[in-house]
Amino acid sequence: MYDFINGNEYAPAPESTAIVNIKKKYGLYIGGKWVDAQGKKTFETINPANQQVLSKVADASKADVDAAVKAARKAFEGEWSSISGAERGKYLYRIARILQERSREFAVLESMDGGKPIRESRDIDIPLVAAHFFYYAGWADKLDFAFPGAGIGGQKVKPVGVVGQVIPWNFPLMMAAWKIAPALASGNTVVLKPAETTSLTALLLAEVIEEAGVPAGVVNIVTGAGDTGKFVVGHPDVNKVAFTGSTCVGKHILKSVAGTDKSYTLELGGKAAHIIMDDAAIDQAVEGIVNGIFFNQGHVCCAGSRLLVQEGVADKVVKKLQKRMETLIVGNPLDKNTDIGAINSKEQLAKIKSLVKTATKEGATVWQPGTSVPRKGNFYPPTLILDCAQSHTVVQEEIFGPVLTIQTFRTVNEAVEKANNTQYGLSGGVWSDKGAKVFKLTDNVKAGIMWANTYNAFDPASPFGGFKESGIGREGGLHGLYPYVKFNA
Ligand code: TAP
């Protein structure tokens, strides 16, 4: 059974046990200390499944961000820069192990604060977070030999300095790991701002970092809304900006770093085409489609949100998909049987509803299964949008919810053309029995990640990132270390 010391109660997931210590109030983690925001301002973080307030979180001002950057600079120039890569690696291994030990606690907190099903946070998010720290721990003592050409002619690999990192709410802990692990492995120090609606697991991660004995100031966590993010990105003593979030905010950030000597990586939105060829294994493809769009309520940058089905199998695929969707359970994120949890915020729920309305206005057909949806909390049923044209708003814009548009095509070339006809280029998927078709599609769809006969397969060793308005730079793998190092300096 779950036990919350601040008195919040929640129906426990069957057969699960975990103790989650949610504090009544969280401060900022700066210079190895927990401090209030200088202006004493706080904001509430709520459980989107039941609207209960989980905790109050410090709202960092410009002065707080300045203190965090100063702490990061001091650590960068002090102890952190004098230790070896092998020593840095040990800290990362320690963080990874503690995360594994406390994985249930993290999973429950992630589901409560963000709304995602416990099955996903427990079996996917938290294991991947630990794997990310393990992976980058392994690189920490190999950097001199990691990059082609490095080490030749006395070329040295060095960290870039203080890194400002801003992350979104859809994979709160995973995005924190994607940012912090490579930054620390390569010897940088960090100021990280989590999203306003999902700060709690980043703050719990700060506790883990403390427990792992990471020197003070190496990781600083400043919570707050968009302005706090702006202060982090705009701080003159930040050497590199790492941002994950919407394309719209990404464009603002790009403008704000223009003309400075800051380096940057931007991981932005997506509108992936999920392509089903007529020779695909249909039952497996249908499972792939469900996973592609309904995983994490569709709050996924790489979600397979546009289904492109070859005409010969379109009716069959849609019927099977509808039948499968009738079985999906929408509800309590802490119930391990739940398939679709809560939409992260009221604002996001309103955005999803409004885009689906637009689809109807523009002439598409909306289909939803008879699934029951809890009245209390932010919930939205799995939804198909049929009879879509390429110009429809729902085909072009990121919905970031459990909503799938469906279009058909006749030839591989038509599939490629439709897949590439949006502003985004983050990810995509192909289902086909024929290797030649798979290669033609994966070669010609302009996307940073293409999956074949699977979807949403993640691995820390694999680079992730987009083309076009989906971003600049890569995270994960060796590629994910490049933005955190400089050569010959
Ligand atoms: P955003 O609204 O862009 O917010 C992302 C982060 O930036 C939040 O922490 C936000 O703070 C902060 N922020 C807002 N305005 C800012 C500004 N002017 N300067 C600096 N920081 C600012 O995105 P979101 O709604 O949280 O996340 C969803 C988006 O993230 C989707 O578009 C999704 O595709 C994208 N995403 C991309 C990836 C990759 S790897 N490409 C992965 C996950 C998500 P507050 O939210 O606290 O106000």
**Ligand 1 centre from 84 Cα, in Å?**
34
Residue of 244, 265, 347 best suited for mutating to test ligand 1, as the one with most atoms within 8 Å of CB? 244
Q: Are 145 and 160 in contact (CB under 8 A)?
A: no
Kindly list the structural domains of the chain, giving each domain's residue range(s) and its CATH number in brackets, ordered by start: 14-268+470-488 (3.40.605.10), 273-460 (3.40.309.10)
Among 232, 234, 243, residue whose Cα is nearest residue 168? 243
**Ligand 1 centre from 101 Cα, in Å?**
29
Residue 1: the pLDDT is 34
Residue of 247, 301, 469, 472 best suited for mutating to test ligand 1, as the one with most atoms within 8 Å of CB? 301
pLDDT tens, position by position, for the chain (489 residues)?
333 333 334 344 444 456 798 999 999 999 999 999 999 999 999 999 999 999 999 999 999 999 999 999 999 999 998 899 999 999 999 999 999 999 999 999 999 999 999 999 999 999 999 999 999 999 999 998 888 877 666 678 999 999 999 999 999 999 999 999 999 999 999 999 999 999 999 999 999 999 999 999 999 999 999 999 999 999 999 999 999 999 999 999 999 999 999 999 999 999 999 999 999 999 999 999 999 999 999 999 999 999 999 999 999 999 999 999 999 999 999 999 999 999 999 999 999 999 999 999 999 999 999 999 999 999 999 999 999 999 999 999 999 999 999 999 999 999 999 999 999 999 999 999 999 999 999 999 999 999 999 999 999 999 999 999 999 999 999 999 999 999 875
- In the DSSP assignment, the letter for residue 464 is B
Q: What are the Cα distances from residue 399, in Å, to 285, 298, 299, 329, 342?
A: 22, 8, 8, 21, 15
CA-proximal residue: ligand 1, atom 23 (nearest): 245
Dist. CA 348–CA 295, nearest whole Å: 16
Residues labelled catalytic: 267, 301
**Ligand 1 centre from 246 Cα, in Å?**
5
Q: Which residue ranges have their beta carbon within 6 Å of ligand 1?
A: 166-171, 193, 195-196, 225-226, 229-230, 233, 244-246, 249, 252-253, 267-270, 301, 398, 400, 426, 464, 466, 471
Q: Is the dihedral of CA 423, 425, 426, 428 positive or negative?
A: positive
**Ligand 1 centre from 196 Cα, in Å?**
10
Residue 12: the pLDDT is 41
Burial class (CB in 10 A: 0-12, 13-18, 19+), 208: buried
**Ligand 1 centre from 146 Cα, in Å?**
31
- In the DSSP assignment, the letter for residue 453 is S
Instruction: Please name the residue ranges forming H helices in 24-84.
Output: 62-77, 79-82
Among 380, 326, 302, residue whose Cα is nearest residue 115? 380
Residue 156: the pLDDT is 84
Residue of 166, 223, 265, 468 best suited for mutating to test ligand 1, as the one with most atoms within 8 Å of CB? 166
Q: Are 428 and 453 in contact (CB under 8 A)?
A: no
Nearest ligand 1 atom to the CA of 267 is 41
Quick count: other Cβ atoms within 10 Å of Cβ 261?
A: 7
Q: Are 140 and 80 in contact (CB under 8 A)?
A: no
CA–centroid distance for 229 within its chain: 16
Quick count: other Cβ atoms within 10 Å of Cβ 472?
A: 17
Among 367, 401, 370, 369, residue whose Cα is nearest residue 384? 367
Dist. CA 377–CA 307, nearest whole Å: 29
Angle between helices 103-114 and 85-101 (to 10 degrees): 70
Q: Are 404 and 295 in contact (CB under 8 A)?
A: no
